[in-house]
Amino acid sequence: MSKYAMITTFLTKFLDDEVRKTGLEKVVVGLSGGLDSAVVAVLAHRAFGDDLLCVKMPSHYSSQSSLDDADELCERFGMRSETRSIEPLLKAYETPEMDNLRRGNFSARMRMATLFDISAREGALVLGTSNKSELMLGYGTLYGDLASAVNPIGDLYKTEVFELARHLEVPESIVGKPPSADLWAGQSDEEELGYTYAQLDAVLRRYVEERADRDELIGEGFEPALVDLVVTRIFRNQFKRKMPVIAKLTSRTINHDFNYPRDITL
């Protein structure tokens, strides 16, 4: 069995276990037409079949090609979907002085608010679609695309998600296009980050998995600016990977010394 066949089997079982232990049997995924959400949707469809609902949430800044790619994915795998535009929500709030960062963050949060409302309607859990590269670099919106109940791909680097997508036979229209959150016209992940995911992941693996330090990485030939960007972003964005800090005032404080497993039952 190949590496990605084993990962597929493991993640399908992971999703089944983590969702059903909550007493729920349905899931929802925000489907953008991009790589990460496509992979999560296909994995979820393997685990839940028609108990998966894919939700497309375009705005007036979304590209038609992204919607077309999402439709192609749903048609290929026979996945249920619906479209709920966030355009009215965004237009009601945005102002001419909003820059792309604010507009993008607001869009991401409106999408997640919409997705959680649909999950309540469906009696379903929201699945996350952030990969390890994004999580380590803090490349995501707190309470937006970083929010979810269960995330099956959060320990896979972006370059690994590409390989998993190919194993799952995700359409080439999705696998072959430049990564983008599609938050505004022409937005590109790699242009924003300043490096390709292949470059970023090479440093992330050495630094995170193999614990190489800055001097080692530079000695191995990695560009100092790249190394510094990765290390700085990892530490600067640690808060995005943690629950809110609670000031300790009592003998048993949540997340300090009142710590139970996530799935504890009476």
pLDDT at 184: 67
d(CA 11, CA 47): 9
Amino acid symbol at 124: A
pLDDT, mean of residues 200-208: 98
Q: Tell me: the pLDDT tens digits for 99-129?
A: 999 999 999 999 999 999 999 999 999 999 9
167-195 burial, b for 16+ CB within 10 Å, e for fewer?
ebebeeebbeeebbbbbbeebebbeebeb
pLDDT > 70: percent of the chain: 98
The H or E element spanning position 17 is helix 3-20
pLDDT, mean of residues 71-84: 98
pLDDT at 180 over 80: no
- The answer to whether the beta carbons of residues 161 and 131 sit under 8 Å apart is yes
d(CA 190, CA 194): 6
Residue the block writes with tokens 């996350």: 128
**Which carries the bigger pLDDT value, residue 188 or residue 37?**
37
Q: Tell me: the pLDDT tens digits for 224-264?
A: 999 999 999 999 999 999 989 999 999 999 888 888 877 77
pLDDT at 260: 81
pLDDT > 90: percent of the chain: 87
pLDDT at 44 over 80: yes
| Candidate from 35-49, 65-79, 100-114, 178-192 with smallest mean pLDDT | 178-192
pLDDT at 187 over 80: no
pTM: 0.94
Residue the block writes with tokens 């349905």: 26
From residue 58, give the alpha-carbon distance in Å to each of 65, 178, 186: 11, 18, 15
